[in-house]
Each structure stands twice: as C-alpha cells, then as structure tokens.
C-alpha cells in the first residue's frame, strides 16, 4: 500500500470557482513559480510533522522534479530550506533532472513519465521517504518515482502534495480524503473521447484525449507547449 496526502484541492480553470477555490488556485500557481507563502510553508511543515511523528532521523524528504533543472530549483529550493531549518533531512539530489524536457520536445504522454529523471539510491537507502510535488491528478508520476525509490532501497515512500486536482464532471468513488491506496487509486473514471479538440497539435499529433486536455491544460490545447 502506498499513501499520499495533500493540503488543498485544485479546481481547473474551466470551472467557475468560489472565493476559496480561486485562492487555492493562486497558491498552486505561485508555488509553481517558486513563491512560498507562509500559509503553504506552515501547511507543509504540519503535514510533515504528522507523517513523521516528529522523527527527523529515519525520514528523508525528496522532490519530484519539474520538466527542467531550472524549474525544479525555482519551485522547491525555498521549501527545501524551510524543511531543513525545521530539522529534517532533505535530499534534493535523490531524484534529479537527468536531462531537461523543454516544451515542444515532449513526445506526448510517455509510458514512463520519469524517463528524464535520475535517481541516487544512496540518498534514500534504508530510509523512509516523503516525496513532495505540487499537484497530483492521476498519480502516475508519483507512483513511478516511488517505485524507483523503493527499488533503490527506501523502506517506504509517502507522497505529499500541495493540491489534488478535482473534476466535478467525473464520478468520484468513495475514498479517504487524506490517504489512499495508490495501487487501487482511481477516484475518477470516464471513457476518453477525442472530438472537442480535433485540429489541435496536442490531440491530433500527440494523442491527448479531450479529458487529458481538460485536466492537464485547463481546456486549452495550445497550453501543451507550456507543459511542465
């Protein structure tokens, strides 16, 4: 069983949002750009404390890289320093950008979204790992990274995300709001369609479905070129 938890929810921009949802969107956008609000900083520290029980010896904190080394540093450097200052061990290079996947060079939805990542098992061997990222939608990247860290010697991996994507158009199965069994995690189900974005590069060439474009690109297929 693999667990993850998250701080808030992310409602895609195509949906009308209330004031709280707009606020949460802004937190996500700012975090992606390397802005660490006190609200987010404190929430991450509280979640880490809850997961570890305050044990700073047996746990290490790692991050799921962004699409480029620069974006990874921009996004996580401030949070990494805050976590270190709180007494936890941070291994920023346990998972790293082996090479950049700049916009326009990504070959659609790869079977392995972690193909551009490098792993240093010596950083996690014999340790429990908290694996941090910004937003989780379907969890494939998280699952692949966690698998590789465990194969490298981590005793367990717990995911921690700023937000989880919600989609009001999908039917949601019952699940715990805080922790899920990743291997059986499938809260949303909808048969993929390929009609609404015909003529776009993202759909016609790269094969992204209507639902993928809605979820990942907020309904804007041109945003494919800014994929992170």
3-state secondary structure 70-113: HHHHHHHHHHHHHHHHCCCEECCCCEEECCCCCCCCCCCCCCCC
What's the total number of domains in the chain?
Answer: 2
* pLDDT of 146 higher than 70: yes
Mark whether 88 and 62 lie in a shared domain. Answer: yes
Mark whether 83 and 137 lie in a shared domain. Answer: yes
The CATH number of the domain holding residue 118 is 3.40.50
Find the domain containing 101 and state its range: 3-186
Mark whether 153 and 207 lie in a shared domain. Answer: no
> Which of 171, 186, 201 is a domain's end point?
186
Dump pLDDT digits (tens) for 102-141. Answer: 543 344 455 677 889 999 999 999 999 999 999 998 788 8
Contact 62, 132 (CB under 8 A): yes
Contact 138, 110 (CB under 8 A): no
Distance CA 80, CA 41 (A): 10
In the chain, pLDDT over 90 holds for what percent of residues? Answer: 58
Dump pLDDT digits (tens) for 57-82. Answer: 999 999 999 989 999 999 999 999 99
Dump pLDDT digits (tens) for 172-183. Answer: 443 333 333 333
Mean pLDDT to the nearest integer, 1-20? 87
Mark whether 173 and 130 lie in a shared domain. Answer: yes
Q: What is the pTM of this model?
A: 0.76
Confidence of residue 15 (pLDDT cuts 50, 70, 90): confident
**Contacts of 17 by beta carbon, 8 Å cutoff, 6+ apart:** 11, 25
Mark whether 217 and 119 lie in a shared domain. Answer: no
């Amino acid at each position: 069983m693999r667990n993850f938890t998250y701080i808030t929810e992310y409602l895609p921009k195509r949906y009308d949002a209330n004031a709280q949802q707009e606020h949460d969107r802004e937190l996500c956008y700012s975090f992606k750009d390397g802005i660490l609000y006190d609200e987010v900083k404190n929430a991450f520290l509280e979640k880490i404390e809850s997961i570890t029980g305050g044990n700073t010896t047996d746990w290490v904190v790692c991050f799921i890289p962004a699409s480029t080394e620069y974006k990874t540093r921009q996004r996580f450097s401030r949070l990494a320093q805050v976590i270190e200052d709180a007494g936890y061990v941070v291994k920023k290079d346990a998972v790293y950008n082996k090479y950049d996947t700049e916009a326009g060079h990504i070959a659609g939805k790869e079977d392995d979204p972690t193909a551009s990542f490098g792993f240093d098992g010596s950083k996690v061997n014999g340790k429990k790992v908290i694996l941090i990222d910004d937003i989780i939608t379907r969890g494939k990247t998280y699952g692949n990274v966690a698998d590789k860290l465990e194969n490298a010697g981590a005793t367990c991996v717990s995911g921690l995300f700023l937000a989880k994507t919600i989609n009001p158009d999908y039917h949601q199965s019952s699940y715990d709001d805080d922790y899920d069994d990743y291997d059986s995690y499938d809260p949303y189900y909808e048969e993929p369609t390929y009609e609404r974005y015909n003529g776009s590069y993202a759909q016609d060439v790269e094969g992204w479905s209507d639902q993928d474009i809605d979820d990942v690109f907020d309904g804007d297929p041109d945003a494919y070129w800014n994929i992170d």
